[in-house]
Amino acid sequence: MAKLTVNDIDGRNKRVLMRVDYNVPIEEKDGQMVITDDTRIRETIPTLDVLINRGARIILAAHLGRPKGKREPSMSLRPVAVKLADMIARPVAFLDDCIGDKVENTANALKPGDILLLENVRYYAEEEANDPAFAEKLAKIADIYVNDAFGAAHRAHASTEAVARVVAKRGGPCVAGLLMERELKFLGEELQNPPRPFVVILGGAKVSDKIKVIDRLLDKADAILIGGAMAYTFKLAQGLKVGKSLAEPDKVNLAREALEKAKQRNVKFLLPVDNIVATPVPTAKLDKKGRPVMDLQNPRALSDPNIPDSEDGVDIGPATIKAYSEVIAGAKTILWNGPMGIFEDPRFAEGTFGVARAVADATQKNGAKSIIGGGDSVKALNTAKLGDKVTFMSTGGGASLEFLEGLELPGVAALADK
């Protein structure tokens, strides 16, 4: 069911509490906290514009990182206020708290069109506990609640869920922002009855993370193309050898069931026909868990479906890129989530970039609708400078996966239906 949005409310002079996803990557450089990717801030500007034009008094709430209920200075949202002000060329006030008298007094003094950003809601443990009393405190400054934080909507937290319940109970509108609306449209409505062929590309590390999405999409897709380490669990299910590749032997049954379901439903289920492999050699360095960091040496393409015991599969090979690109070229709707290999290493990025090019081409040349389900695939498209060549890129990682699984996201459920 579609949700009411900021376009459906009259915000004039109202105090609008807007939950945003400003969980941006931030690094210390020369004693300054620097935001290294401002996409999430930029994505909220259309909603802010609507509220500013309507003369709302805007109070923004967000989280940054995982301070786990403590005031962790490196996770302050102060630099985000500065960045936002810069991006929208108007003042953005900042307060070092998100509840209490100071917040109420400042919010009450806001004029139409003014913007106030509150400090990290996760400085309070009550936020992640979805604590009702904390939600009451947050709601004190909200005549209207807007949620534009799709990336946080899969969590039932006080600022995404309980606060909306409080506002709604006293008759205040609880509506979606324009980014939230777009996410729900592309990941939801547009995939209900997609123009066919509908091609799904899934990659990434683990079958276990994506098996529910696979299962659901097997009911809808015409073809599913598998890449990433996930492919090796499917290869195990087919009785093939995967050498030292990342795989989940305990999930082989799930993989087998998916292969069986694909056959029954007549869904093309493609696995890599060749791989880029490398020889892992332990280095003197240890990772966070105390295991030796591996140096991946001697990368090469291997067309044998069995990977030798000493080798690690790190990307899809050239024949697979070609085969997948052909299927993608025939698609009318494309959904892509997850890289085809360890694309963070340029030596193993060609599979992911090849798929990115095929998706961009299908969109631009054939008019296919391409929907990118967030996370690493978005990163890969942006790195390849193809971000503007696809139809839609989700800002949610975990949220988009859960939504694609068909789950109702708590932060969405709490908003009013149209």
* Selected range binding ligand AMP among 33-41, 234-242, 280-288, 340-348, rule: CB under 6 A: 340-348
| Consecutive H or E run containing 391 | none
**What minimum distance in Å lies between the beta carbon of 209 and ligand AMP?**
5
Note whether 361 and 350 are within 8 A (CB): no
**What minimum distance in Å lies between the beta carbon of 313 and ligand AMP?**
5
Choose, by CB under 6 A, the member of 67, 172, 339, 411 that binds ligand AMP.
Answer: 339
Choose, by CB under 6 A, the member of 33, 246, 259, 302 that binds ligand AMP.
Answer: 246
Please report whether residue 410 would count as binding ligand AMP according to CB under 6 A: no
Active-site residue flag, 256: no
Active-site residue flag, 100: no
Which residue, 59 or 229, is less far from ligand AMP as judged by CB?
229
Active-site residue flag, 206: yes
Residue type, 26: I
Q: Is the peptide bond before 197 cis (omega within 30 degrees of 0)?
A: yes
Active-site residue flag, 113: no
| Consecutive H or E run containing 298 | strand 292-302
**Residue sitting closest to ligand AMP (CB):** 204
Please report whether residue 205 would count as binding ligand AMP according to CB under 6 A: yes
How many whole angstroms separate alpha carbon 242 and alpha carbon 336?
24
Please report whether residue 222 would count as binding ligand AMP according to CB under 6 A: no
What is the biggest distance separating any 2 CA atoms in the chain, rounded to whole angstroms?
70
Binding mask 374-393 for ligand AMP (x = CB under 6 A): -xx-----------------
How many whole angstroms separate alpha carbon 249 and alpha carbon 232?
9
Q: Which of 341, 375, 396, 411 is catalytic?
A: 375
Which CB contacts under 8 angstroms, 24+ apart, belong to 99-107? 99/124, 99/134, 99/137, 99/138, 99/140, 100/137, 103/140, 103/141, 104/140, 104/141, 107/15, 107/57, 107/59, 107/141
Note whether 3 and 176 are within 8 A (CB): yes
Q: Which of 19, 40, 122, 220 is catalytic?
A: 40
Choose, by CB under 6 A, the member of 194, 280, 317, 341 that binds ligand AMP.
Answer: 341
Which residue, 242 or 390, is less far from ligand AMP as judged by CB?
242
Choose, by CB under 6 A, the member of 174, 214, 229, 242 that binds ligand AMP.
Answer: 229
* Selected range binding ligand AMP among 186-194, 200-208, 387-395, 404-412, rule: CB under 6 A: 200-208
Q: Which of 42, 78, 206, 347 is catalytic?
A: 206
Which residue, 339 or 410, is less far from ligand AMP as judged by CB?
339
**What minimum distance in Å lies between the beta carbon of 59 and ligand AMP?**
33
Tell me the CA distances in angstroms from 401 to 6, 61, 77, 156, 231, one per residue in order.
25, 24, 26, 16, 18
How many whole angstroms separate alpha carbon 121 and alpha carbon 123?
5
Burial of 247 by CB count in 10 Å (0-12 exposed, 13-18 middle, 19+ buried)? buried
CA angle 180, 186, 192 (to 5 degrees): 125
Which residue, 375 or 410, is less far from ligand AMP as judged by CB?
375
How many whole angstroms separate alpha carbon 6 and alpha carbon 148?
10
* Binding site residues, ligand AMP, CB under 6 A: 204-206, 209, 228-229, 246, 313-314, 338-339, 341-342, 344, 375-376
Catalytically active residues, by annotation: 40, 206, 375, 398
